[in-house]
Amino acid sequence: MSDIKANKKNNRTLIAIIVVSVLPIAAAYFMFFTGIGVPEHTVNAGRLLGNPVSLSSLLEEDNAEFLQHIQQDKKWRLLIPISDECNEACELNLYTTRQVHIRLAQKSVRVERVAVNIGGTVGLRIYNEIKAEHPKLKFINLDAESWQEWLSQSETALSAEQEHFYLLVDQEGNAMMAYHSDVQGNDLLKDLKRALKYSIDFQK
């Protein structure tokens, strides 16, 4: 009987330890993406998507290899769509995300930038013109219609053909937030640092 009581006590202790360890991280993650409970002056710089959307359904057909990559290498990712033009706003998004990635220093290994070509041959040409300036920028090709259909599931009005933006994707491959070219590098850096602080470091 004493052994049973001891086992029950040990189980309760283990559960308590798990709750104490996991709950603060889960709460911080919730606050980060909802803004609930966060002081107004520290709300995220990005625009929260109405409904998080998983990359799995988007990549499973034509980019199965990259899908496997993100499933195995759990990082935060910035998805930067490239349509059939890259104007000043597009160039600014590429520049801002690159500089912020560099400024993360040792923590930069936990973040990956991905150019998503939805502009066909024109988008590919644009990428080839900029890739020397962005050596760590990953690249995938996607059909523009598939991209927009996937994005519409977020219940957020976004169109890469009408505006230039990029998406923040969590370590499980869920797009959570959108950023436009008017977001300053310092603000994006704060968001990423907060996301890294309250999430698991899988790169250790």
CATH class of 45-197: alpha beta
Residue 132 DSSP code:
T
pLDDT averaged over every residue in the chain: 84
- Of 159, 152, 163, 156, which Cα lies nearest the Cα of 86? 163
Which residue ranges make up each domain of the chain?
A: 1-43, 45-197
* Cβ pair 107, 196 in contact under 8 A: yes
DSSP states of 167-189: EEE-TTSEEEEEEETTS-HHHHH
pLDDT in tens, 1-50: 455 555 555 556 655 555 444 454 454 455 445 445 544 444 789 999 99
Nearest to 100 by CA among 17, 14, 190, 160: 190
Rounded Cα gap, residues 67 and 49, in angstroms: 21
Tell me the percentage of the chain whose pLDDT exceeds 90.
68
Task: Retrieve residue 67's tokens.
Answer: 């899908």
